[in-house]
Each structure stands twice: as C-alpha cells, then as structure tokens.
C-alpha cells in the first residue's frame, strides 16, 4: 500500500509525495508549472489547430492534472481530444481534492468528473473530450490503435525503473502515428538512445523549473 502525503511545491501548487521514496507525482519545484511546460506547451500546443482532433495516451494518469489541463486547453481552442490514461494505482478523490488545483467554478467539477467516471470504458466528459481510464500497467496493456501524442509521466527511473526499459519504450513508440509526438520530463541519455533506437527523432528542450532539460521525440512522417 502506497503511503502518500500532500506537499506544497515551488510554484505554490500542491502534489503528492510517496513517503520513504523521495518521489513525487509532480515536480517539487512546481507541479502546475511542470505539467504546463512539459505536456501542454511542448506537446499539445502544436496540435491546437488540428480540426480532426488529437488522440492522446498518458502513461501515468495519477492525479488527473495533465488530463484536466488538456481538457481546459481543448475548450479554449475548440480542439477535439480522445484521451486514454493508464494508471495501475488509482487515487481516491479525497487525496486529489486536497491538492486544490483550482477554486474556479466548473474547473473543480471537471477534475472531479475525471476521477468519478468508471474505469476501463469510454466516457464523454465534454462535447469535445472523451476519456478512457485504464487500470493497467503499460507493459500489460495491448493498446487501442495508434495515438498522436504520448504524455510519458511515469515515476522516474530511480523509483520505477521498469517503465524506462528499452522494450517498454519501443512498445510506446510503436503506438505513435506517423508524425506523432512523445514528451516527458525525463532527459536521461539512455532514454534518448532508446527512443532513437525505436525509430524516433529526439530533441532536448529546456526543462521546467528545477530541470535543465526535457525530451520531445517524434515519429517520422
């Protein structure tokens, strides 16, 4: 059983910390800043004008922060999103609610709706956005066709080394459509090499606060 506690991060937003592992669900330097920088600005932003929408796979649904930010982005850009979130260890809403990501009417309800909907089936969350939360590990999941964008938000290699093994990364790369994008906060040299070996074009980008670099990779079109 994972022991979790709420902790404040550098930008004033909150995250969950795994007691005894010195590992957090989001950056201790700024949970909200990291999610926006890595997954929205470096990932989703380039798909914003795509009329046919975008298919997203998130590895590590966790607190739902990346999903929530993506659906907010979808509303402001009128962007259809088809979203799959993998999470083998679902969180109770009481823990997520304590993180207080927003007090704005409607935004709290959206986050709550993400956590309230049942697992392993599709739900229309908004007229633009559908969500399927899958209660499985990536290595145990067979996939559901290709995706345009992967948010790779597993715990770091020190805490969850199996998620960063070459075979798992190759499986993830194979799910990308031509021109598809993979983004993650991690910037290890072994990750970059393994993604290149999986056929992706890899670039290092400036990281969020507290990290020098992050990685974005693309499947050639």
Average pLDDT over residues 144-167: 93
Structure tokens given for 186:
């991690």
* Cα 219 to Cα 171: distance, rounded to the nearest angstrom: 13
Q: Give the pLDDT of residue 160.
A: 87
Average pLDDT over residues 175-202: 97
Q: Are 183 and 219 in contact (CB under 8 A)?
A: no
Average pLDDT over residues 119-139: 97
Residue 4 lies in a domain: no
Q: Give the pLDDT of residue 18.
A: 85
pLDDT surpassing 90 at residue 185? yes
Average pLDDT over residues 125-138: 97
Average pLDDT over residues 31-54: 96
Q: Which of 13-22, 56-65, 175-184 has the lowest mean pLDDT?
A: 13-22
Average pLDDT over residues 192-207: 97
Angle, helices 107-116/65-77, rounded to nearest 10 degrees: 130
Could you tell me the pTM of the whole model? 0.95
The contacts of residue 215 (CB under 8 Å, 6+ apart) are 182, 183, 184, 186, 187, 191, 192, 195, 202, 203, 204, 205
- Mean pLDDT over all residues of the chain? 93
pLDDT surpassing 60 at residue 133? yes
Scan for tokens 């090499």, then name that residue: 193
7: left (phi over 0), alpha (psi -120 to 50) or beta: beta
Residue 5 lies in a domain: no
The number of domains in the chain is 1
Residue 24 lies in a domain: no
Residue 6 lies in a domain: no
Residue 3 lies in a domain: no
Q: Give the pLDDT of residue 1.
A: 52
Domain of 139: which CATH number?
3.40.50.150
Residue 83 lies in a domain: yes
Average pLDDT over residues 26-38: 93
Give the pLDDT band (50/70/90) at residue 196.
very high
Give pLDDT tens digits for 83-114: 999 999 999 999 999 998 887 878 889 999 99
Q: Give the pLDDT of residue 19.
A: 77
Percent pLDDT > 90 in the chain is: 78
* Cα 37 to Cα 214: distance, rounded to the nearest angstrom: 10
pLDDT surpassing 60 at residue 154? yes
Residue 54 lies in a domain: yes
Alpha-carbon dihedral angle through residues 136, 61, 151, 138, given to the nearest 10 degrees: -10
Give the pLDDT band (50/70/90) at residue 123.
very high
| Containing structural domain, residue 87 | 30-218
Residue 13 lies in a domain: no
């Amino acid at each position: 059983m994972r022991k979790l506690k709420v902790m404040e991060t550098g930008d004033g937003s909150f995250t969950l910390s795994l007691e005894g592992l010195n590992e957090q669900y989001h950056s201790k330097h700024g949970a909200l800043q990291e999610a926006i920088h890595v997954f929205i600005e470096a990932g989703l932003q380039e798909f914003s004008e795509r009329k046919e929408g975008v298919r997203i796979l998130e590895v590590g649904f966790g607190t739902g922060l990346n999903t929530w930010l993506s659906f907010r982005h979808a509303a402001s850009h009128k962007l259809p999103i088809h979203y799959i979130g993998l999470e083998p260890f679902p969180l109770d809403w009481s823990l997520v609610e304590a993180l207080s990501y927003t007090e704005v009417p409607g935004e709290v309800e959206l986050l709550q709706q993400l956590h309230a909907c049942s697992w392993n089936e599709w739900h229309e969350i908004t007229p633009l956005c559908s969500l399927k939360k899958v209660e499985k590990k990536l290595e145990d999941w067979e996939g559901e066709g290709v995706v345009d964008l992967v948010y790779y938000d597993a715990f770091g290699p020190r805490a969850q080394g199996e998620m960063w093994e070459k075979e798992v990364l190759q499986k993830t790369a194979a799910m990308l459509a031509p021109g598809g994008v993979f983004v993650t906060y991690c910037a290890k040299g072994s990750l970059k090499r393994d993604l290149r070996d999986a056929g992706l074009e890899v670039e290092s980008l400036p990281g969020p606060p507290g990290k020098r670099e992050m990685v974005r990779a693309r499947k050639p079109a």
